[in-house]
Amino acid sequence: MSEDNDNVAKYREVVVLSIVPCIVAILVLASWALAHWEIGPYWLNAGLALLATLFGGYLRFVAGFKDIFKRRITVNVFVTVALIATIAVGEFRAAAVVVFIMAVAGGLETYTLDKTRRSIRNLLDLTPKTATIRRNTEEVVLPVDKVQIGDVVVVRPGGRIPVDGIVVGGQSCVNQAPITGESMPVEKFKGSEVFGGTLNETGRLEIKTAKVGRDTTLARIVHLVEQAQGTKAPIQNLADRFTVWFLPTVLVLAIIAFVTSRDIKVAVSVLLVACPCAFAIATPTAVTAGISNMARRGVLIKGGIFLELAKKMDVLLVDKTGTFTFGKPKVVDVVAFDGISEEEVLRLAAIAEKYSEHPLARSVMDRARECGIQVPDPDEFKIEIGMGVAARLDGKKILIGKDTFLQDKGVIITEDIDRRISSQTERGRTTILVANDLKPIGLIAIADEIRHETPRAIASLKAMGIKNITMLTGDNHKVAKAVSEEIGVDDFQAELLPEQKLQYVEKLQKQGLVVGMIGDGINDAPALALADVGIAMGAAGTDVAVETADVTLMNDDLSRVVNFMDMSRKVMLRIKLNIFFSIMYNIVGFALAGFGMLTPVLAVIFQEAGCITVVFSSTLLLWSKTGSRLKTEDRGSLSVARVVVDNVTREKTSQCA
């Protein structure tokens, strides 16, 4: 069914963008040719022009009459009045030309503003189609929709968990970042809660089913996304706001022209020269040019409404994992004890972790490779899930893991070591201790690495006038506090589930604030959908986050958000400039038409010149540069951001020195 909907939407785009304008153009040309070469009776060429008007303007007429019944004055009302007046005086081809222009403009607007998001269904693809159920002593594979509450589901390493439930057997590390946003895999053991759609990484788990189908956390997220998308209010088109007072003014001028000239065609010419074709394309042409410019820079924008809202943004909410950070555990510090070199601590840790599949073990091995350390194979190797690793090399026992694990093995943990561990924990880091022959020799701190461009991007966004930048994360309070202080955001909210992120967006919107949201994970999708402007980190982001968001950063570079914000300001300024050009053409056109110097056809040509001017004005946005100029007072905050980046770089380099 969803594929059928996709095809219908695609066909609709083709019809609106190409077929309708083409048919109208053919009918207009045929009508003109018949009249020019005097082929056939008058009613034939007039009928073709009238057919072109009715065919191409049908949706405009319908929308216009609906707005009239609702007592709303919009561009559609203006076009309807002008076309009816033009047809009433027999200027069928003039009406058809207007319709053709409006059809092309309408196609652009439809393409730009009405792109539907069709990938919410992909979210549920994270849930496996089948589940392995333990029945007595046997294991049976069933379709996931046949699983019942109370069934024990078996999930092997590397498999996705199909249900929400409680672990009743086994131990493992589970990557649940798509659901909770936690940057580190979570240890699961008997009694732990797990979520459908998360990834079982290391061990075998037996899970007693608690929720299935629509009741799972993943399914609730889908519902929240759909609900949030349905509640986002549209913003009134700038041209419509202008037309509220412009149309009555034009009608008064047309009546005055008729009274003074006693010629109905003069009044119609006034209406036609004022026909808001330029107003109608002022927004979509500027928006299309701005969107095209951003697309070349790796920023995909799904509609002009989001450019307008971005300029008005009061609060920017940003997910931590995968947005401010890379979303992968990385060694950020190596601390050696009692004169042991940092390289030796890292070498022994890598030996112990060489055969482990734990994510923290992989980060240790990655750092050893970066530092060019040769890592021999351990003679013995044993993993104690959730605690650490014991290995042996050349008769010496190497232990690496939690402090409690080392203590249980006979390693003495001094107060100084406790203080060092606490210091790392306060900075939001996961700490693993290393011991050689029951003697503690150092510790390794692991954290989710902050993207290098983050501090500067935050400073730039503040310089552009965003009043508040708040970090949202499912991580714990200490990690959130450490990251927020390092990157310079105004505030943070920690340990949030998808529903809570959504509620936080709702809370701000109820205060009358325009809210932007940047995220990359499935857990961000509801908040992205509800936010006034949802921005997804595209390259590493999940499909559902990209599709539910309004703006996508294809290269995961936060500085592109600065480009987007700058372009939003330029597009809105260009729209206002386009409307100014339209007013100038109308003023001149009113004067010429009022004195009887324009026939209805010449009036259409004159107002079309206004359209061409608007198109040219908008086209200049295609080559506009963004984010390249900053106010003098803003450079101080950016220099601070550069210092932060330089310090991080030097810290990384020193660890391998």
- The amino acid that residue 405 corresponds to is F
**511 has pLDDT over 90:** yes
Whether the pLDDT of residue 525 is over 90: the answer is: no
Residue 117, pLDDT score: 40
Q: Please name the residue ranges forming H helices in 92-169.
A: 92-113, 120-123
Tell me how far apart the alpha carbons of residues 182 and 350 are, in angstroms, rounded to a whole number.
25
Type and span of the H or E element at 175: strand 172-175
Per-residue pLDDT, 637: 41
Band of residue 205 on the pLDDT scale cut at 50, 70, 90 = very high
- CA 10 centroid distance within chain: 22
- 208-213-216-218 Cα dihedral, nearest 10 degrees: 130
Read off the pTM.
Answer: 0.62
Both tokens assigned to 67: 């707005």
Fold of 128-215: 2.70.150
Query: Over 60: is that where the pLDDT of 442 sits?
Result: yes
Most confident of 312-316, 336-340, 581-585: 312-316
The set of residues, in sequence order, having a beta carbon less than 8 Å from that of 559 and lying 6+ positions away, is 453, 456, 457, 460, 627
Residue 332 DSSP SS3? strand
| Structural tokens at position 645 | 């980046």
**For 223-227, 508-512, 547-551, 625-629, which range has the lowest pLDDT when averaged over its residues?**
223-227
Share of the chain above pLDDT 70, in %: 80
Q: Output b/e per residue, 552-591; b: 16+ Cβ within 10 A.
A: bbbebbbbbbbbbbbbbebbbebbebbbebbeebbeebbe
Q: What confidence score (pLDDT) does residue 650 get?
A: 42
Average pLDDT estimate for 69-93: 81
Which of the residue ranges 13-17, 142-146, 531-535 would you say has the lowest mean pLDDT?
13-17
CATH entry 1.10.1760.20 includes domain 298-325+451-566: no
pLDDT average, residue stretch 630-649: 42
pLDDT of 632 > 80? The answer is no
pLDDT of residue 639: 43
In 198-276, which ranges are continuous DSSP H helix? 217-231, 238-261, 264-273
Pairwise CA distance, residues 218 & 216, whole Å = 5
Q: How far is CA 241 from CA 73, 218, 306, in A?
A: 8, 41, 18
* CATH 3.40.50.300 is held by the domain 327-449: no
Contacts of 597 (CB under 8 A, 6+ apart): none
Assess contact for 326 and 452: CB atoms under 8 A. no
Residues annotated catalytic, as ranges: 319
Whether residue 539 has pLDDT greater than 60: no
13-66 per-position pLDDT tens digit: 555 567 888 899 999 999 999 998 989 899 999 999 999 999 988 888 898 899
Tokens of 496: 């949030």
| Helix (H) / strand (E) containing 132 | strand 130-135
Model confidence at 185, in pLDDT bands (50, 70, 90)? confident
- Give me the half-sphere count of Cα atoms (radius 13 Å) on the Cβ side of residue 582: 24
483-500 mean pLDDT? 87
Q: Tokens for 303, please give them.
A: 């509609």
Q: What is the pLDDT of residues 363-398, one digit of tens each?
A: 999 999 989 998 999 988 888 877 889 999 888 899
Q: What does the pLDDT read at residue 233?
A: 45
What are the structural domain ranges in the chain? 128-215, 298-325+451-566, 327-449
Kind and range of the H or E element at 210?
Answer: strand 205-211
Q: Could you count the other beta carbons within 10 Å of the beta carbon of residue 38?
A: 9
What whole-number distance in Å separates Cα of residue 338 and Cα of residue 354? 25
Tell me the mean pLDDT in the region 406-431.
88
Give the residue among 393, 389, 397 at the shortest CA–CA distance from 375: 393
Instruction: Give the mean pLDDT of the chain.
Output: 80
pLDDT over threshold 70, residue 242: no
Task: Tell me whether strands 205-211 and 152-155 are parallel, antiparallel or unpaired.
Answer: antiparallel
- Higher pLDDT: 560 or 631? It is 560
The tokens of 388 are what?
């650490």
Q: Does 470 have pLDDT greater than 90? A: yes
Mean pLDDT, range 401-414, rounded to an integer: 90
Q: Encode 401-439: b = buried (16+ Cβ within 10 Å), e = exposed.
A: bbbebbeebebeeeeebeebbeebbebbbbbbbbbbeee
Question: In terms of Cα–Cα distance, which of 516, 511, 527 is closest to 469?
Answer: 516
Assign 221 a pLDDT band (cuts: 50, 70, 90).
low
- Which region among 84-88, 121-125, 451-455, 476-480 has the lowest average model confidence (pLDDT)? 121-125
Highest mean pLDDT, choosing among 54-63, 191-200, 437-446, 615-624: 437-446
Which CA distances in Å does 571 have to 7, 305, 457?
A: 32, 11, 21
